[in-house]
Amino acid sequence: MKQLLSHRCCFAILLAIATATGVDFPGFAQNEAQQLRDIMQRLDALQQRYSAAVSELEAIRKTSFGGDTHNVIALTNQIEQFQKQGNYGAAVTPSRDLVAIAERVLGPHHPTLAAALNNLAVTYKELGNFSEAIPLYQRSLAIREKALGANHPDVATSLNNLANLYTDQGNYGEALPLYQRALRIREQALGKNHPDVGLSVHNLAVMYHLQGSLTTALPLYQGSLGLLEPALGAEHPLVATVLNNLAELYRAQGNYGAALPLYQRSLTNREKVLGTDHPDVATSLNNLAELYRVQGNYGAALPLYERSIALRQRTLGGDHPYLALSLASLAKAYWAQGKISEALTALNRALEIEEVNLSRNLVVGSEEYKRNYLATFQDSTNTAISFHLQGNPQNPAVANLALTTILRRKGRLLDVLAATISRLRNQLDASAQQQLDELIRVRTQIASLTFVRDRPPPASQMSQLQQRANQLEAQLVSQNANFRLELTPVTLGVVQQAIPANAVLLEFIEYVPYNPKTNRWEAPRYAVYALKNSGAPQWRDLGTVAELNTIIQAARQRMADPRLPATVTKPSLKAAYGRLLAPLEPFLEGSTHLLVAPDGQLNTLSFEALVDRQDRYLVQSYTITLLTSGRDLLRLQQRGKPANPPLVVGNPTFSQGSGRALAGSQRGVNPRSLDLRSLTFTELPGTATEVKTLSTLLPQAQVLTGRDATETAIKQTHRPRVLHLATHGFFLERPSVSPQVLQNTRGLNAYAPFGGENPLLRSGLALAGFNQRQSGVDDGVLTAFEVSGLNLDGTELVVMSACDTGRGDILNGDGVYGLRRAFTLAGARTQVGSLWKVDDTTTQRLMVAFYQNLAAGKGRSEALRQAQLQFMNDPSKQIPYFWAAFVSSGDWRPLP
């Protein structure tokens, strides 16, 4: 039996489209979208279960294995028995043995080997071990395409299997074209009335369902059932699954009376056909419990949850993702009843299981893949925070659970990628090194085409290049066992030990509150958790995102405006301080160092420029260091390789050419996306003085200026102890993209949060030859996308002495996508960058003072602070615009 597209998948695909495009589908209000996200987490994934695996095993049994035939039959019978029981853990070893025999006897390209690989992949997927399943599915698909042809029904099965796995990990942009291709193959090969095509009709019903066209979806559901039920039988497990999803439609309508008998019939059929101890029965029990829970009938829901949890643990194991979903739902039921202790136990266990699966499955795939997988955990993160701040704000155990969840998940993608890239860079064999070199070349080509002078490249060409880059990245990760090394486990205690004695960690978070009694998600809010190296954390809910963003925007606009006197700027800066930090003043007392991990629009603020109740700028009282998350502290405890001498790059010769020239008083520009194609820059006199002075403060430094300050020279430099870049910087605001364009590009999935564009292509630095797009063998536009491929392991400090180098697109929970992030991925421990346009002469003076302080042995953050305080003593430079633009992130300690 071929794979059935999951209901969970279709909910998620349409939600991704709605989020990416900003389109409001008919009847698809924001609160309904949040409800559907919650439903999506609970739906049966409609996997092929044992029936598809059995069909693969039957094909294997029909193949002659010579003297190994008897052993193969015994193995397939054993695997079939385990899979019918839902005992996938026991099926792993015989499934591996079967693959080994098939490859040894039949060779690496035989269709029966593809069946054995697919069977093993199904086993791993059912166990939630996606990282093991992915390469097996991919290899099975490749063998079938080559041996059977691109349009064979077995190829459609492999496509659906792989798409279903991508769906489970939230990679809907990867899954959707695979599903579409599988549907075309089935229609052509099997006919439009075939039951497998009927399953795809059901999928269309789900998509109409999500668009709010329930009257259109209902007859499609019924037509699909009309095809499947006669073909498979009224009691077939897949028919039971379709009944379950038809019940979901009625539940979405609030028609609980129509939903209930369908849920009950689905459960009855599964118990009768599969037995009462099968995992699919646990799914029906869980979904029926969910219906009762949303109706407020907790007495009926709780025993069903308990049966489902016991069954899932017994059949799937104690760390299966489905078990986590049941436990999380049980926690919501307990919470709604005021049974806080029971809810805490269940939620804590659910989150621990999710942590196991995050650690297991983030070791493979591209950045896009990992980002989308992490996004599937957002609801449980919001639930944990809501359980504390909205439900139990005075409960320390609940507070610890919420903060631990934030530390484990906020900034995790950056942490995982940085560790992965470091291993990739330092532990590859010759073959993998060739793949890495190709990946760097492809990324350079993408960046060059983005800013080509004459005309933009075809969208299809860019899409193909991005797809190739993702493939290379995924292959490098999956083919190297060293990537499976675990990161340091993140616990509250471990993070706390990494906080300096004089410091406070301020972990800001944007979250979506959940109400268990109404089963609804409410307007997003900001919160902050404060933690010292000993003692209990403190916390404050700060208010709605809409309200706080207005205050944040006003403060940022005033601190970045050189025309406004302090009397005009300070009221807004006081207002921001009053909402963000004043509530924590008693906890901050006695500390001198703030480790600030912003979220959302807080990333646009210079915290140094906030004004406290004593009318003092925060920089006058505290050293301030930015982090993506408190988990950064664990990465910063690890040291890189010994570094090479410093590299100072500045005063590039841009070469005047045609186009619009800029005055040389500022170190950057902020055009719309396509304007940069015709833009030219003039030289910056201040950078010449800056570089000359720094060459005396860093006597061992290599200095590149004029025509030598090329993009190619920077890319060829490995691990300088300090990298200083004094030039023009740019940050391009997100372009407007039509919903139609988004839906027609693969960027829908990969970069949906950023308007369908790779945000690292919209920030960067201008180097020698920029105006003619010729800089060594490169184009002179060093984008953040290319920076992330530099080798800066061991680099202690990167200073981006240019405009807007601390800016970028913001992804809640994952920081700023721009140069700062790129240099972190490249291996740099500390980054100094700017949050707005900076004056050339002022920047030169600030940088010289900063390096003088470093030479005197001051810490990196404190050296910047002292330079800023020095400017504040100049009556002509006292407003934040002149001294507060540059911020320090990462390691704050003195240079070793």
**d(C-alpha 866, C-alpha 241), whole Å:** 65
Closest to 671 in 3D by CA, of 552, 781, 749: 781
Q: Using DSSP, how many helices (H) and how many strands (E) does the chain show?
A: 37, 19
Average pLDDT, the chain: 83
pLDDT at 477: 66
CB-CB contact of 9 with 164 (8 Å): yes
Condensed to tens digits (0 to 9), the pLDDT of residues 322-334 reads 999 999 999 999 9
Give, for 358, the enclosing helix (H) or strand (E). helix 340-361
Q: Cα–Cα distance between 272 and 429 in angstroms, integer? A: 54
The first and second tokens of residue 270, run together, are 């599964």
- Per-residue confidence (pLDDT) for residue 722, from 0 to 100: 97
* Whole-angstrom Cα Rg for the chain: 29
Please list the alpha-helical segments (H only) found in 698-839: 711-715, 739-743, 747-750, 784-787, 819-826
pTM higher than 0.85: no
What's the pLDDT score for residue 366?
Answer: 77
Instruction: Write down the pLDDT at residue 365.
Output: 75
Residue 236 contacts residue 273 (beta carbons within 8 Å): yes
Is the model more confident about 684 or about 455? Answer: 684
Task: Tell which residue, 370, 371, 380, has the closest CA to residue 404.
Answer: 380
Q: Check pLDDT > 90 for residue 644.
A: yes
Confidence of residue 168 (pLDDT cuts 50, 70, 90): confident
Nearest of 177, 137, 200, 158 to residue 4 by alpha carbon: 200
Q: Is the pLDDT of residue 658 over 50?
A: no
- In the DSSP assignment, the letter for residue 9 is H
What pLDDT score was predicted for residue 737?
A: 41
What does the pLDDT read at residue 743? 33
Mean pLDDT for 679-695 is 86
- Indicate the range of 400-404, 445-449, 734-738 predicted with least confidence: 734-738
Is residue 659 within 8 A of residue 771, CB to CB? The reply is yes
Distance CA 125, CA 140 (A): 14
545 pLDDT exceeds 70?
Answer: yes
Q: How many Å separate Cα 409 from the centre of its chain?
A: 10
pLDDT score at 739: 37
Among left, alpha and beta (phi > 0; psi -120 to 50; other), residue 351 is alpha
Alpha-carbon gap, residue 182 to 163, rounded angstroms: 10
**Which stretches of 784-873 are assigned E, i.e. beta strand?**
797-801, 808-811, 815-818, 830-834
CA distance 222 to 237: 17
How far apart CA 257 and CA 267 sit, in angstroms, is: 16
Q: CA distances (Å), 840 to each of 650, 680, 808, in order?
A: 12, 17, 21
Question: Is the CB of residue 782 less than 8 Å from the CB of residue 767?
Answer: yes
- Of 377, 403, 399, 379, whose CA–CA distance to 390 is shortest? 399
pLDDT level of residue 311 (50, 70, 90 thresholds): very high
C-alpha angle 677/678/684, rounded to 5°? 105
Give the pairing type, strands 503-511 and 525-531. Answer: antiparallel
**Displacement of CA 227 from its chain's centroid (Å):** 39
CB atoms within 10 A of CB 254: 10
Residues 10-54 pLDDT 10s: 333 333 333 333 333 333 344 444 455 444 444 443 333 344 455
Q: Which of 103, 12, 6 is nearest to 45 (CA)?
A: 6
Please give the structure tokens belonging to residue 710.
Answer: 């090329």
The strand ranges marked E within 284-361 are none
pLDDT at 399 over 90: yes
**pLDDT confidence tier of residue 676, bands split at 50, 70 and 90:** low
273: Cβ contacts below 8 Å, ≥ 6 apart:
235, 236, 237, 240
Split at pLDDT 50, 70, 90, the class of 757 is low
Dist. CA 523–CA 583, nearest whole Å: 22
Tell me which of 106-120, 490-504, 752-766 is least confident: 752-766
Kindly report the number of other CB atoms within 10 A of residue 616's CB atom.
12
Give the mean pLDDT of 136-153: 94
What is the token pair recorded at 468?
A: 């190739």
Please give the structure tokens belonging to residue 658.
Answer: 């045609």
Give the alpha-carbon dihedral of 549, 554, 555, 556, to 10 degrees. 80
Q: Is residue 340 within 8 Å of 312, Cβ to Cβ? A: no
Please give the average per-residue pLDDT across 537-566, as a whole number.
95
Specify the pairing of strand 520-521 against strand 514-515: antiparallel
**Of the candidates 445, 436, 481, which has an alpha carbon nearest to the alpha carbon of residue 785?**
445
The residue type found at 814 is D
> Distance between CA 359 and CA 316 in Å, rounded?
18
Distance between CA atoms of residues 389 and 854, nearest Å = 42
**What residue type is 360 in one-letter code?**
R
Nearest Cα to Cα of residue 384 among 417, 436, 349 = 349
Query: Residue 228 burial (CB < 10 Å; 0-12/13-18/19+)?
Result: buried
Each residue's pLDDT tens digit, 594-604: 999 999 999 99
Query: What pLDDT is stored for residue 457 in this prediction?
Result: 64
For residue 153, how many other CB atoms are within 10 A of its CB? Answer: 17
pLDDT for 754 equals 46
Q: How far apart are CA 348 and CA 351, in angstroms?
A: 5
| Helix, strand, or coil (residue 806) | coil
Query: Which amino acid, 277?
Result: D
- Entry field: residues in the chain: 896
Asked if 4 and 49 touch (Cβ cutoff 8 Å), the reply is: no
The arithmetic mean of pLDDT across residues 145-166, rounded, is 88
Measured from the Cβ of residue 113, the count of other Cβ atoms closer than 10 Å reads 26
Asked if residue 89 has pLDDT above 50, the reply is: yes
Assign 491 a pLDDT band (cuts: 50, 70, 90): very high
Burial class (CB in 10 A: 0-12, 13-18, 19+), 634: buried
Q: Sheet with 525-531: list strands edge to edge.
A: 538-544, 525-531, 503-511, 593-597, 623-626, 886-890, 830-834, 797-801, 722-726, 647-652, 702-706
CA distance 326 to 298: 14
Q: Given this model, what pLDDT does residue 735 score? A: 57
pLDDT digits (tens, 9 = 90+) for 624-640: 999 999 999 999 988 76
pLDDT at residue 482 greater than cutoff 80: no
For the cut 70, the answer to whether the pLDDT of residue 447 exceeds it is no
827 in the Ramachandran plot: left (φ > 0), alpha (ψ -120 to 50) or beta? left
Mean pLDDT of the region 373-379: 88
20 by DSSP, 3-state: which? helix
Q: How far apart are CA 350 and CA 321, in angstroms?
A: 9
Write down the pLDDT at residue 483: 46
d(CA 597, CA 255): 45
Check the CA dihedral 361-365-366-372 and report its sign. negative
- Whether the Cβ atoms of residue 715 and residue 783 lie closer than 8 Å to each other: no
Minimum mean pLDDT range among 247-256, 507-516, 577-586: 247-256
CB atoms within 10 A of CB 31: 12
According to the model, what pLDDT value does residue 59 have?
A: 83
